Structure formats: C-alpha cells, structure tokens
C-alpha cells in the first residue's frame, strides 16, 4: 500500500490517503511540539510521498498549527487545491468569552473565518466538530454547518469525539431536513483504546461515516520505547497523560507488538498503526510526529501486511471490556439463529429451545 492508494471518506466522493498527517504537534508553543522548520519538513515529506490529507484544529498550538500549514501551502501555486485540508472548531481561544467556543452558530461562523485567515485559504475541505457541545442543540450546529457548505466556505463536514447516539441523531436529522450530513467520524482508536468498537464503530458503518482514528500509538506508548523495565524512570514529554497508560495490560500489548515487529522486520509503531488501519470501517488513520524520522517510522505501516496469526495475537492481548448491551449480544446468535450460520456468523443450538419431541406452545 502507498499514500497514493486513495480511499473515499465515508459516504462521499472525497478521496483521501490511507494515512492522514496530524498537525497537533506543529509548533513548539506548548513546549513539546516541532518547531516551524521541522513542521514544514514533515509536511513536505508527506506531500512528496503522495499524501494529500492534513488534519489540524483551531486550538492546536493556539492557532499556530494552522498558520504553519497555511504559510507552506501558500508558497507553492496549486498545492492548496491538491491538498485535502481538514480543521476543527469548538476550542475556545478567548478565555472569559463563553461564546468563543463550543458548537453554537455564533462560534462556528467566527471560528471558520478565523481558521480561513490562518490557513490562508478561502475554503476548508473538511470541517470537524471537535467534540460534542451539550449546551447547543444539534440542529443549530447542523444548520450553521450547512450554511457554510452552501456558502462555499466548507466542502464537507465531520464529527469528532461525540457519543454514538448524538451522531446518529445528527445524521437522521440532516437526512430529514436535506442538510449536509457528516461524512467522517474522528475517534481515538488503538490497541489500547478499543471500547469504540462497542457503539461508535458499528454506528459509523451503519450511517456512512468514514472512520479516521487519532492517537493510534496512544501518545507514543505503543512505540515500544516504554517497557516494564524502564517505565519507572521514563519521562515522556506529555507527562501523566502518557504515564496513565503504564499498566500490565499495556505492557502485554507492547510485548506482543515487539514480538510481531521482530518477526516482520519492522518497528512496533508501524505494526500498531497497521493494525488500526486494517480495522473494519477505518478510512484514514491520523499519524502525528515531532520529527521527520518519527513520521517515516509511522509511514512504514503502509508496507506491512499483518498475517492472520499476528492479528489474532494482537486482538487477543488487547480485547476490550465493552459496556451493555455488547456482552449480551455475544449470546444472540445462539438464541436467534437456531444453530445455523448467517452471513458468516456461526451459532450453536440454544439449549433452552424446544428439543425434538418436546411441545411448542
């Protein structure tokens, strides 16, 4: 696979690379990102390799991430139009102003204009609601986004970090009122974070949303550089946000990643990204990096073909605990299918069903 093996995003005609360049690390304003030259080098490396999908947000490095991307794209005529540029609204950059964040019409319109200015463009290819705003009716958010699409400022819309029931409500409402519908779902998804397989992933498959996972390496935890042996002395750049995942389950996953990577002659990071990208419903996985070297390690995932035995081992060691009704659903094939196989799903006979010679009332 290559970055030029484009896929359509959800139920849309928007064609994106299988790996998306995440720009949360662009700018050192937060104390741990990449400086401007290194950020530009990563963008150039990604685009030169055929990648076309860059994802940022208004709040990343206080808006500097958008500026870095916009400045580079503006220097090369035609480059902006060949790039699928995604950004997000919801983050409040003006402390003390309650209307400068969230998903209200007032903030969406203002945030879009500010992002357009920083990105030095007159349209955004994919505009994400960064997270659910429980204080704003979803119909207000959808109508504002539809107005931006109709005005030509936005081409497509997506939703990130929002409960499945709320996304489903939004999709149905958009269809009923002939408004622009979400084409993408951005969620955290990795070998560590698999609880999204309970509700969010099935919802995306059913409602035509292309999944774009973020943090496939869980902030670097799945790169293999943190192990049981060095966890006590490790000092990750993101501190407790990373250390919170130093658990027995995590290290069991890391051990398996290291073993599989050794068998395939690659890195644990590449294996972890390849595992996510191969999951059902995933369109384009967002990869972040703080250097060109890290970016290259992530891009190496495109060269990996995980064998069935590798996928099975990784699945087994990372099996999540899902909330109700998912555990109950494991028994429904037995109850509903009568011991037959339906759409490839086998079942055993339900022992409480009427047996031969027993009455059916």
- Look at residue 137 and tell me if it is in a domain: yes
Percent of the chain's residues with pLDDT above 70? 96
One domain for residues 209 and 345: no
pLDDT confidence of 236, banded at 50, 70, 90?
low
- Look at residue 2 and tell me if it is in a domain: no
* Span between the terminal Cα atoms of the chain, in Å: 57
Catalytic residue selected from 60, 123, 127, 245: 60
Mean pLDDT of the chain: 95
Domain span at residue 353 reads 331-361
Please report which helix (H) or strand (E) contains residue 211, including its range: strand 210-214
One domain for residues 140 and 243: yes
pLDDT in tens, 247-289: 899 999 999 999 999 999 999 999 999 999 999 999 999 999 9
pLDDT confidence of 305, banded at 50, 70, 90?
very high
pLDDT over 90 at 230, yes or no: no
Is 60 one of the catalytic residues? yes
- Look at residue 133 and tell me if it is in a domain: yes
- Look at residue 345 and tell me if it is in a domain: yes
In terms of pTM, does the model score above 0.75?
yes
One domain for residues 174 and 64: yes
Alpha carbon 332 to its chain centroid, in Å, reads: 30
One domain for residues 262 and 340: no
One domain for residues 111 and 260: yes
* CATH number (domain holding residue 72): 3.20.20.100
Query: Distance of CA 168 to CAs 179, 184, 218, 339, Å?
Result: 14, 12, 27, 33
| Domain total of the chain | 2
Return the closest-CA partner of residue 272 out of 211, 223, 227.
Answer: 223
One domain for residues 217 and 246: yes
């Amino acid at each position: 696979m290559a970055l030029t093996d484009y896929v359509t995003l959800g139920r849309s005609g928007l064609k994106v690379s299988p790996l998306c360049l995440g720009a949360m690390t662009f700018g050192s304003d937060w104390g741990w990102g990449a400086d401007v030259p290194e950020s530009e080098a990563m963008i150039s490396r990604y685009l030169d390799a055929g990648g076309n999908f860059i994802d940022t947000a208004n709040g990343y490095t206080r808006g500097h991430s958008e500026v870095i991307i916009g400045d580079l794209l503006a220097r090369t005529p035609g480059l902006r139009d060949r790039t699928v540029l995604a950004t997000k609204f919801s983050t409040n950059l003006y402390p003390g102003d309650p209307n400068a964040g969230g998903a209200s019409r007032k903030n969406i319109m203002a945030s879009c204009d500010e992002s357009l200015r920083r990105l030095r463009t007159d349209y955004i290819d994919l505009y994400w609601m960064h997270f659910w705003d429980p204080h704003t009716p979803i119909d207000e958010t959808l109508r504002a986004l539809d107005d931006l699409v109709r005005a030509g400022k936005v081409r497509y819309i997506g939703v990130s970090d929002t409960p499945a029931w709320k996304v489903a409500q939004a999709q149905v409402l958009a269809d009923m009122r002939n408004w622009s519908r979400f084409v993408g779902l951005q969620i955290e998804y990795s070998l560590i974070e698999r609880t999204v397989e309970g509700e969010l992933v099935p919802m995306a498959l059913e409602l035509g949303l292309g999944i774009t996972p973020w943090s496939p390496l869980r902030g670097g935890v799945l790169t293999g550089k943190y192990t049981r042996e060095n966890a006590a002395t490790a000092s990750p750049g993101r501190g407790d946000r990373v250390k919170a995942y130093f658990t027995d389950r995590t290290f069991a996953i890391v051990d398996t990643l290291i073993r599989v990577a050794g068998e395939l002659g690659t890195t644990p990071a590449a294996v972890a990204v390849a595992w996510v990208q191969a999951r059902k419903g995933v369109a384009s996985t967002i990869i972040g990096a703080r250097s060109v070297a890290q970016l290259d390690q992530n891009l190496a995932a495109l060269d990996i073909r995980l064998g069935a035995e590798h996928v099975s081992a990784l699945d087994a060691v990372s099996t999540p605990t899902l909330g109700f009704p998912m555990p109950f659903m494991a028994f429904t094939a037995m109850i509903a299918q009568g011991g037959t196989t339906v759409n490839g799903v086998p079942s055993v006979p339900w022992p409480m069903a009427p047996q031969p010679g027993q009455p059916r009332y």
